[in-house]
Amino acid sequence: MENLRVYIDKLMAFWNGLGRTQKIAAAAGAGVFLLLLLFFSFRGEEKVVYAPLYTDLEPAEAGQVVMRLRQMNEPYQILGGGAIVMASEKRVDDLRVALAAEGLPQSGLIGYKLFDEAKLGMTEFLQKVNNQRAMQDEIAKTLSKIQWIQGTPRVQLSIPEPSLFTEQEKPVTASIMLPIRRGFRPEHNQVQGVALLVARAVPGLQENNVTIVDNTGRLLTEEADPLARQASKQMDLQRNVEAYLEKKAASVLEKITGRPDNFSVKVSVALDFNQAEQTMETYDPNATVLRSEERNEESSAEAGTKERTVSNYEINKTISKVVSAPGVIKRRSVSVTLDRPIDPQTSLPAPRPQTEVDNIRATIMAAVGYNASADQFEIRELAFDRTARAREEDAQRAAERSQLITDIVLNVAKGVAIIIALLVLRAIIGAIGRGVAREEEIAAAAVEGVAQEAAAEIMPETPHEITLGRIAQMISERPEDAARLIRTMLLEEAQKQRTQ
């Protein structure tokens, strides 16, 4: 307590030693600092939007990246069991550049650098193994540069030992796992390009011996069996056609119903993959053309001359050859389910008017190319389960209400804090003003006293004051004579006392 009192006394002494201008500047600076402190205290922490910084990292690599982010005081999140590191969306590009300058992350793919530290006395088996590892790493590095591949691919090569007999020689094979970007589905020519790239990088590897799967285990390369490959293509084509028709119908229904969860549409198609060739010959009996004519004349004395004519006509014939391409839609089956709207009066699901349902039916039929002779179309109205939607809406409203209350409380707290700060600042300025006024009073009193003294000095001197002034002047000008004079006066005073 004593130390605190000493510190306060020193502070007050320092404050009293300041001038008027210095005190006003110090008070203003303290007030501004207090306002800024309150503003930033109630401002609240800015919400960080995270984006993937790196994906498909090894645990050791993720640990290095996270440790560096901690040193840089950057916010981060770890997802995917430690394989994905998230960072602030605004800082992703800058962080990648900064970490890349420090050599992070280390992908672990060494490649042909493995032979930079080759040891003496390495056996032929180890050399072959290292060569295979280097080839796998170099191929993975090359594949990781492809735009739609996100992360580090895994490449496994199987290179058998060469055999003296051709019929006993086993082929070189490759197995590749590609981490594909989410939501992307590579096309056939892209997968074929990857397989061809790998086949050209490994001696003795054929393109059909490369197996490629994605990170979900889905086979991307074609089957070795021609029948299985053809069936896979046909299924892919059927799924693409169904998805295309469903998308067309959904785009129309979303504009009609207003929301994508107010309807359900499914399309099933049957495709004809038979390639048929048909030749038709059409004859027109009404259209004839003279092809040849033969005339014979016979003359005799009895019958005279007889003429016989034989005409050959060709009937008009049309030959047409029709080759139907495989993949023609034979039949469409369309199923549309509509959610019943809520009646504003009863707050219960109510059926739509039949005319509205018929109009929706006609619109969807036209969108999918409905053929009445072969296709099937069904449309139904049902009351969808709104429990999940109601929970989502309630949760959203609760979150909005909570956010609104939080904003109101923060704004009120900011206002109260600003008012308190202004009152404190006003009190400080008032105290400074009162102190300055007191100092001015003291200064005025001092000036008045000096003026009075000066006025007193200006008044005429008395004879006694004149004598004292002369004596003081003599003492200052002739101190030795003054000392002798004082000594003489003292001796005379002493002799008078003895005689008495």
What mean pLDDT comes out for the span 452-461? 52
Highest mean pLDDT among 278-287, 310-319, 373-382: 373-382
Enter the tokens of residue 73.
């005081």
Coil vs helix vs strand at 269: strand
Domain assignment present for 215: yes
In this predicted model, what pLDDT tens digit does every residue of 215-225 receive, in sequence order? 888 888 876 66
Q: Are residues 92 and 161 in the same domain?
A: no
Choice between 152 and 375, residue whose per-residue pLDDT is larger: 375
> What local confidence, expressed as pLDDT, does residue 458 receive?
47
CB-CB contact of 250 with 362 (8 Å): no
Residues 139 and 198 in one domain: yes
Please indicate, yes or no, if residue 74 is contained in any of the structural domains. yes
| Distances from the Cα of 419 to the Cα of 103, 344, 423, angstroms | 53, 48, 6
78 or 413: which leads in pLDDT: 78
Cβ(65)–Cβ(85) under 8 Å?
A: yes
pLDDT digits (tens, 9 = 90+) for 346-362: 878 888 899 999 999 99
Confidence of residue 245 (pLDDT cuts 50, 70, 90): very high
Give domain status of residue 206, yes or no. yes
288, β-bridge pairs: 315
Asked, for residue 351, whether it belongs to a domain, the answer is: no
Burial of 418 (0-12, 13-18, 19+ CB in 10 A): middle
| CA 217 to the chain's CA centroid | 27
Q: Tell me the C-alpha distance between 102 and 106, whole Å.
A: 10
Give CA angle at 373 (370, 374), nearest 5°: 70
pLDDT at 360: 92
Neighbouring residues of 159: CB distance < 8 A, sequence distance ≥ 6: 128, 132, 172, 202, 204
Given 182, 197, 223, the domain boundary residue is: 223
> Which contiguous run of DSSP H or E holds residue 379?
strand 376-382
Amino acid at 44: G
CA distances for 348 relative to 1, 149, 386, angstroms: 74, 50, 11
The answer to whether residues 38 and 54 belong to one domain is no
User: What proportions of the chain, in percent to the nearest 5, are helix, strand and coil?
Assistant: 55, 25, 25
Confidence label for 268 from pLDDT (cuts 50, 70 and 90)? very high
At residue 352, the 3 state secondary structure works out as coil
56 shares a domain with 35: no
Is 366 among the domain residues?
Answer: no
List the single range of 10-24, 152-166, 405-419 with lowest mean pLDDT. 10-24
Residue 61, Cβ neighbours under 10 Å: how many?
Answer: 20
Asked whether residue 79 falls in the same domain as residue 136, the answer is no
CA–CA dist 151, 239 (Å, integer): 28
Tell me, yes or no, whether 35 and 14 share the same domain: yes
Give the span between the Cα atoms of 351 and 357, in whole angstroms: 10
Task: Please check whether residue 174 lies inside any domain of the structure.
Answer: yes
The answer to whether 348 and 267 are in contact (CB under 8 A) is no
Average pLDDT estimate for 56-81: 84
Q: How confident is the model at residue 92 (pLDDT cuts 50, 70, 90)?
A: confident
For tokens 């609104």, the residue is 404
Q: Which of 24, 8, 4, 14 is nearest to 436 (CA)?
A: 24
Asked if 84 and 139 sit in the same domain, the reply is no
Task: Name which residue leads in pLDDT, 488 or 1.
Answer: 488
Q: How far apart are the first and last CA of the chain?
A: 69
Q: Report whether 339 contacts 382 (CB < 8 A).
A: yes
Secondary element (H or E) of residue 59: helix 59-71
Q: Do 218 and 130 fall into the same domain? A: yes
pLDDT in tens, 291-327: 777 777 777 666 667 777 777 767 777 777 777 777 7
Residues 226, 209: Cα–Cα separation, whole Å = 14
User: Which residue did the predictor score with more confidence, 363 or 434?
Assistant: 363
Q: What is the dihedral of CA 438, 441, 446, 447, to 10 degrees?
A: 140
Q: What is the pLDDT of residue 439?
A: 56
CATH number at 135 reads 3.30.300.30
Q: 60 is in which domain, residue-wise?
A: 50-102
pLDDT at residue 225, as a whole number? 67
Domain boundary among 223, 238, 254: 223
Q: What is the pLDDT of residues 100-144, one digit of tens each?
A: 778 777 655 656 665 666 666 778 888 888 888 889 988 988 898
Token reading at 167: 């019929």
Within a domain: 7:
yes
What is the pLDDT averaged over residues 51-66?
Answer: 80
More confident residue, 463 or 402: 402
In a domain, 184, yes or no: yes
* pTM, rounded to two decimals: 0.46
Identify the CATH number of the domain in which residue 72 sits.
Answer: 3.30.70
Is the backbone peptide bond immediately before 105 cis, with ω within 30 degrees of 0? yes
The predicted model gives 40-50 an average pLDDT of 62
3-state SS record for 116-169: HHCCCCCCHHHHHHHHHHHHHHHHHHHHHCCCCECCCCEEEEECCCCCCCHHHC
Quote the CA–CA distance of 51 and 350 in Å, as a whole number: 44
Query: In the prediction, which pLDDT does 31 show?
Result: 66
Q: How confident is the model at residue 283 (pLDDT cuts 50, 70, 90)?
A: confident
Is 205 or 462 the better-scoring residue by pLDDT? 205
Domain boundary among 173, 189, 223: 223
Q: Which of 146, 64, 144, 133 is nearest to 99 (CA)?
A: 64
One domain for residues 64 and 154: no
pLDDT at 34: 65
| Res 266 pLDDT > 70 | yes
Q: What is the mean pLDDT of the chain?
A: 78
Q: How confident is the model at residue 90 (pLDDT cuts 50, 70, 90)?
A: confident
- With cut-offs at 50, 70 and 90, classify the pLDDT of residue 40: low
Q: How confident is the model at residue 99 (pLDDT cuts 50, 70, 90)?
A: confident
**SS3 per residue for 175-193:** EEEECECCCCCCCHHHHHH
174 and 213 within one domain: yes
Q: Do both 5 and 74 map to the same domain? A: no
pLDDT digits (tens, 9 = 90+) for 166-212: 777 889 999 999 988 877 888 888 998 999 999 999 999 999 899 99
Inform me whether the pLDDT recorded for 500 exceeds 90: no
Is the per-residue pLDDT at 265 higher than 80? yes
> What DSSP string describes 464-492?
HHHHHHHHHHHHHH-HHHHHHHHHHHHHH
Residues 38 and 55 in one domain: no
Query: In sequence order, what are the residues at sequence separation of 6 or more whose Cβ sits closer than 8 angstroms to the Cβ of residue 64?
Result: 104, 105, 106
Q: How many domains does the chain have?
A: 3
